């Protein structure tokens, strides 16, 4: 893995995690929390888009949108599990 792709993952993860934290939780989760939630959300969003045959596009913006949707789903599921 090239260093620039690692940096891209971290930037996309941070932005997507922050967006998801803002939408679902009402605030960010801190830099490390945003990155972790965003990267896991990118996997969830990518998998879900493949299963549902949804193609958002290519580039940074579509990657952030896909990761933010996945991260939001992750936070919603975690919130439901904590309440149970």
Per-residue pLDDT tens over the stretch 20-52: 999 987 777 788 888 899 999 999 999 999 999
Residue 83 binned pLDDT confidence (cut-offs 50, 70, 90): confident
The mean per-residue pLDDT over the stretch 11-23 comes to 91
Domain contains 44 = yes
HEC states along the chain? CCHHHHHHHHHHHHHHHHHHHHHHHCCCCCHHHHHHHHHHHHHHHHHHHHHCCCCCCCCHHHHHHHHHHHHHHHHHHHHHHHHC
Domain contains 70 = yes
Domain contains 45 = yes
Residue 72: give the domain boundaries.
Answer: 37-84
The mean per-residue pLDDT over the stretch 2-27 comes to 84
């Amino acid at each position: 893995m090239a260093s620039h792709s690692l940096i891209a993952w971290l930037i996309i993860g941070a932005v997507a995690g922050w967006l998801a934290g803002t939408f679902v939780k009402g605030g960010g989760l801190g830099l490390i929390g945003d990155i972790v939630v965003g990267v896991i959300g990118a996997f969830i969003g990518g998998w879900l888009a493949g299963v549902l045959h949804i193609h958002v596009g290519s580039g940074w913006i579509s990657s952030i949108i896909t990761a933010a949707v996945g991260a939001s789903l992750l936070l919603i599921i975690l919130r439901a599990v904590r309440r149970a």
